[in-house]
Amino acid sequence: MHTAAEGFRDAVAVVTGGARGIGRACALRLAELGARVAVVDRDLAAAAEYGESLTASSVAEELIARAGAGLALQADLASPEQAADAVHAASAEWGRVDLLVTTAGGAITPYDRSRASVVPDEDLTALLDANVRTAVNCCRAAVPLMRSAGGGAIVTVASGTALSVRAGGYLAGYGSAKAAIVQYTRYLAAEVGPDGIRVNCVAPGVIRTARVVAQSSRTGIVSDEAAATIPLGRQGEASDVADAVEFLLSPMASYVTGQTLAVNGGAVMH
């Protein structure tokens, strides 16, 4: 019988968008399980922007404290070249890449112009770059390394907005970009399954990261009233998503690929 902790000791993982929020929670979880983790982010000091507290002087130091090894790499992952350089840096440091988590992205454009009928071209471009191109670029870089090693596991990150529609049509561009991630995950899983590479997706609901909480004064996404509508009675924490990512990367999910796991307390049911 497999356990969730199996398969992580000395594995090499790349986590994008790992300087804060969900990405950081996933990176620290993998390090706690014994993986050597490379965090890649366009801003390695991003946690400070919304007052997210680190447990060490940097994310790299947090990883080293947990696993004895860790890398923090700054890159714009919307650039194919920078994405490839970052993934290959992890391989150069530790000899291979076994695991990839593509957390980079987010609803980064103004909320008040995010409805389906008004979202401007520049916002669509920014959302596709941040959410889709970053994931595709990193997967393209990692898959050949995983193939040469005989296998691996990838978890992409979508959103509840890819599975349902926000009231009023808000977050239309973001939801569409994340829906593309869901379908890309399926296509990639179908392609690389014969190579021993599993590809799955998590679709978080409202997760109370420092950024989401800070922005909720504008968006109204985080509130006691919203939490009361969720069957499990609360909005999510970054650790809830890290739990799901841990499962999907672990041998416990060895017969799971091409799936999207909604992590939303039952806010959206299929």
Q: Which residues are catalytic?
A: 174
Report the C-alpha gap between 243 and 241 in whole angstroms.
Answer: 5
Helices within 100-223 (DSSP H only): 121-127, 134-149, 172-192, 210-219
Contact 77, 104 (CB under 8 A): yes
Look up residue 78 and give its DSSP letter.
Answer: T
Run of H or E including 65: helix 59-67
CA-to-CA distance for 123 and 252, rounded, in angstroms? 39
Check: CB of residue 209 under 8 Å from CB of residue 163: no
User: What's the token pair of residue 131?
Assistant: 């959410």
CB 229 within 8 A of CB 222: no
The amino acid occupying position 145 is L
Which strand (E) or helix (H) includes residue 261? strand 260-263
Distance of alpha carbon 226 from alpha carbon 141, whole angstroms: 39
Nearest to 78 by CA among 158, 156, 133, 138: 133
Contact 189, 200 (CB under 8 A): yes
**CA 154 to mean position of chain CA atoms:** 10
